[in-house]
Structure 1
Amino acid sequence: MIELADVHKAFGSNKVLRGVNLTIPKGTSLVVIGGSGTGKSICLKSILGLVTPDSGTITLDGEDVTKADRDSFLARFGMLFQGGALFDSLPVWQNVAFRLLRGSLKRPKDEARAIAIEKLRRVGLKSEVADLFPAELSGGMQKRVGLARAIAAEPEIIFFDEPTTGLDPIMSGVINELIREIVVEMGATAMTITHDMTSVRAIADNVAMLHDGVIQWTGPVAQMDNSGDPYLDQFIRGSADGPIESVR
């Protein structure tokens, strides 16, 4: 469904992507792992058209993403942002229904609110939460609201940027289970960026490791522990010793 072919991107002398090749089949969940600053977020932003690659192609259903109609293209995506990225000045339900209250997906206000409450219930939040403001919620609840917003418009593709950042292990497990359930339930195509190996094992069908601007290894999550790739093995172990240089 999504394909990156020989994608390069540099910022001045900093060559972030050096020829990324990656395929995400429809209805599957891909998790991209790799150290900080390796270009994971740039990959995601390039697919969304927020960053323009210097060379290479990115296609969605065979269509070059740089040539697609922006409104109809972005309407196919949902996004769970790393920090939640909720609007402080809007009540929870308006955060969830943000896309349903404007633009090409606009719905009547009452209908948008009803959808928002339904999605909040889907992620385990009661309807009373709808009229609260983000500052009145815990970090885990804010993450759930972000997830509800990501699925509110029934997107075909959902991106998750570090979905468990800032959460304790128990809440991280809850969010991972919710993500997996919802992706399977919706039949969505998913791409997740994370450092959390627990999330990888809970969410992924396939794993891709980005290192030094290229995909170092990719394959089914079940093959990850026996990949034989020294870069992936070091990353999984979290070891300072190996081909990936650590800052000391």
Structure 2
Amino acid sequence: MIELRGVRKSFGPNHVLQGVDLTVARGQSMVIIGGSGTGKSVLLKCVLGLVTPDAGQIRVDGQPATTKGAGREAFLDRFGMLFQGGALFDSLPVWQNVAFRLLRGQKKRPRDEARAIAIEKLRRVGLKEQVADLFPAELSGGMQKRVGLARAIAAEPEIIFFDEPTTGLDPIMAGVINDLIREIVTEIGATAMTITHDMTSVRAIADRVAMLHGGVIRWTGPIAEMDLTPDPYVDQFIHGRATGPIESVR
């Protein structure tokens, strides 16, 4: 479903991506791990066309990623996104946040229909109908994250990106979000790409794992093989060791 070949991206002297090769199969849940500042978010933005690579190829479902022009909106319609900070619109009630895409664009739905879909998706992530008319500021962090997840799946996307889905959540709520992500991705048959530092999330939601370090994918494989790989970078990262080939910034 998603294929990257030789993708490079620099910002001035900072060479973030230095030839990324990665394949994500249809219906697969791929989790990308790596330290802060290694380019994980830049990689997702390149696929979405929010950042233009300096070199390389990105294909989605066999076709070049559409970054501009007439096909751009249809291209983005295939994606859902759960942002790290929730990224909810403070001035809109919850249901309008969830139905944001449904109320706009080429596939605009009638307002009543969009609201009904939003309430259905809120229920799917464990929130009651009464939440629909509240504003984001009236919700806890965990509830905001659930609303963000409901918005990500509202338009039944083929591909969903999760950017640090459990950041800022306590361990119990993080576990709830991990379980929801796993269930929903399986339920709707979506292809998923997640970036996270949380190894609990990795083990809960990944089919395959890829480690980004030094601008390239150092290792990729099934989640069952992650703990067995002899790669010293992966071993240091997944066990949180201070010593190893990955230098810590002090």
TM-score range, shorter chain: over 0.9
Determine the structure 1 residue equivalent to 2:164. 162
What secondary structure does 1:103 align onto? coil
Indicate conservation of the 8 Å contact 2:103/2:111, yes or no. Answer: yes
Correspondent of 1:70 among 69, 72, 85:
72
Indicate conservation of the 8 Å contact 2:242/2:248, yes or no. Answer: yes
Q: CA deviation at 1:174?
A: 0.1
Q: CA deviation at 1:105?
A: 2.1
Query: In the aligned structure 1, how far is the partner of 2:174 from the partner of 2:106?
Result: 34
Determine the structure 1 residue equivalent to 2:90. 88
Determine the structure 2 residue equivalent to 1:119. 121
Query: In the aligned structure 2, how far is the partner of 1:105 from the partner of 1:150?
Result: 16
Determine the structure 2 residue equivalent to 1:44. 44
Structure 2 counterparts to residues 64-213 of structure 1, below 5 A: 64-66=64-66, 69-213=71-215
What is the letter of the counterpart of residue 65 of structure 2? Answer: V
**If the length of structure 2 is used for normalisation, what is the TM-score?**
0.98
Query: In the aligned structure 2, how far is the partner of 1:167 from the partner of 1:115?
Result: 26
Query: In the aligned structure 2, how far is the partner of 1:128 from the partner of 1:242?
Result: 51
What secondary structure does 2:30 align onto? strand
Change (3 A) 1:170 1:206: same
What secondary structure does 2:101 align onto? helix
What secondary structure does 1:155 align onto? coil
Query: In the aligned structure 2, how far is the partner of 1:2 from the partner of 1:219?
Result: 16
What is the letter of the counterpart of residue 31 of structure 2? Answer: V
Tell me the matched-pair count. 248
Query: In the aligned structure 2, how far is the partner of 1:7 from the partner of 1:91?
Result: 39
Are 1:17 and 2:17 an aligned pair? Answer: yes
Determine the structure 2 residue equivalent to 1:219. 221
Q: CA deviation at 1:61?
A: 1.3
**If the length of structure 1 is used for normalisation, what is the TM-score?**
0.99
Q: CA deviation at 1:168?
A: 0.2
Off by >6 Å, runs of 4+ in structure 1: none
Change (3 A) 1:90 1:67: closer
Q: Deviations over 1:181-218 (max 9, x none)?
A: 00000000000000000000000000000001000100
Change (3 A) 1:112 1:2: same
Query: In the aligned structure 2, how far is the partner of 1:143 from the partner of 1:105?
Result: 25
What is the letter of the counterpart of residue 183 of structure 2? Answer: E
Structure in which a larger fraction of residues adopt helix: 1
Query: In the aligned structure 2, how far is the partner of 1:14 from the partner of 1:151?
Result: 35
What secondary structure does 1:158 align onto? strand
Specify every segment of 5 or more residues in structure 1 that has no aligned partner in the other structure, as ranges: none
What is the letter of the counterpart of residue 223 of structure 2? Answer: V
Query: In the aligned structure 1, how far is the partner of 2:10 from the partner of 2:22?
Result: 18
Query: In the aligned structure 2, how far is the partner of 1:184 from the partner of 1:102?
Result: 27
Query: In the aligned structure 1, how far is the partner of 2:239 from the partner of 2:189?
Result: 32
What secondary structure does 1:59 align onto? strand
Indicate conservation of the 8 Å contact 2:48/2:67, yes or no. Answer: no
